[in-house]
Amino acid sequence: MTWADRYIPPSNSLWQGRTDSPDASCFFQVIHLLDLQNEIPAVNKPAFALLGFNCDEGIRRNLGRLGAADGPAAIRATLAKLPIHRRDIVCYDAGDISCTDNNLEEAQAALGKAVFTLLQHEIIPIVLGGGHEVAWGNFQGIEKRYPNNNLGIINMDAHLDMRPLLAESRGSSGTPFLQIAEAHNKTNRRFDYNCIGVQNAGNIRQLFNTAKDYQVQIAYADDIQEGDMQKSMNLVNNVIYYNQVIYLSICLDVFASAYAPGVSAPQALGLTPWQVIPAIRKLAASGKVVSYDIAELSPKYDIDLRTTKLAANLIYEIIHHHKM
């Protein structure tokens, strides 16, 4: 099976909104469909592309509650109705990569090829998960496009996601950043991984030991909740200063369940959106982020679309603050 066999072209069906909206007021009116199987047109403006990863396999392997495969469609339908204020950019829907046969590794490789294709054409991917196994696929595309650049990685997450690999070196939603670390080791590349929002109660001691071995920099949720935002902003500043390109991954379980109930692992003591958004804005404004992803929205567990609306608003923030 080739990557194209897992590819689902984009559809207009989710991009609907108020019929009385003035032209180019909302996302549903400005989104362009981009079929990656066809020739990609030259872009004469800064461009973003939403790319879905319809996958629950990583969460299943990690013994979590399933439902994130439906996340990309839900995010699109909600983002469609949000306003867009920038007129200097192009926004694409680039379709989805699906995983319906439990072959996570092949699906991640397909995602990597799709991400690489977008990056080759100077289009910034915003990948919509799916479980956090999306990160290993997204990284594969980034690594292929920028093999010789210093890469800074920021993961906003309650979990370190550096669990040991499963039997036969299989990954899960809990392993992507260990897989990325091992990939760096193989190429003797500097590994710069930073995690914001980590909870002590969400990670066993072994994971903190692994993080220490790989010199992971951590901004703990406890400190942020107590008012210390400086550590997380210091991490952001260092990543911007010391790296040529940046990859930003956002797991929605970094947020408290009051804001994000619709995730695989809800967090009673997670962060508020406004404890996270300033860091997202600063990273986007640096102009160094080459790819984004938002992981682990499970619509069937959501309440009043809280998590879905939060995810859509994070994309709004990224697009409106990203410096091209």
Give the pLDDT of residue 73: 98
Give the pLDDT of residue 178: 98
Q: With a cut of 70, which residues of the chain have pLDDT below it?
A: 1-2
pLDDT digits (tens, 9 = 90+) for 77-128: 999 999 999 999 999 999 999 999 999 999 999 999 999 999 999 999 999 9
Give the pLDDT of residue 45: 86
DSSP assignment letter at 255:
B
The C-alpha atoms of residue 106 and residue 315 are separated, in whole angstroms, by 27
Per-residue tokens: 229: 């935002």
The runs of H, that is alpha helices, within 88-202 are 104-120, 134-145, 176-186
The C-alpha atoms of residue 78 and residue 311 are separated, in whole angstroms, by 9
The C-alpha atoms of residue 282 and residue 285 are separated, in whole angstroms, by 5
Contact 147, 244 (CB under 8 A): no
Return the SS3 of 48. strand
Give the pLDDT of residue 42: 85
Give the pLDDT of residue 4: 76
Nearest to 57 by CA among 47, 66, 48: 66
Beta strands in 99-244 (DSSP E): 123-129, 151-156, 192-198, 217-220
- Domain with 226 in it: 3-321
Give the pLDDT of residue 154: 98
CATH number at residue 164: 3.40.800.10
Q: Vertex 145, ends 141 and 149: CA angle to 5°? A: 115
Whole-angstrom CA distances from 78 to 10, 126, 162 are 16, 15, 31
The C-alpha atoms of residue 163 and residue 181 are separated, in whole angstroms, by 12
Return the SS3 of 25. coil
**Beta bridge partners of residue 289, listed in sequence order:** 246
Give the pLDDT of residue 2: 66
Whole-angstrom CA distances from 283 to 1, 92, 239, 244, 320 are 37, 21, 9, 12, 12
Name the domain count of the chain: 1
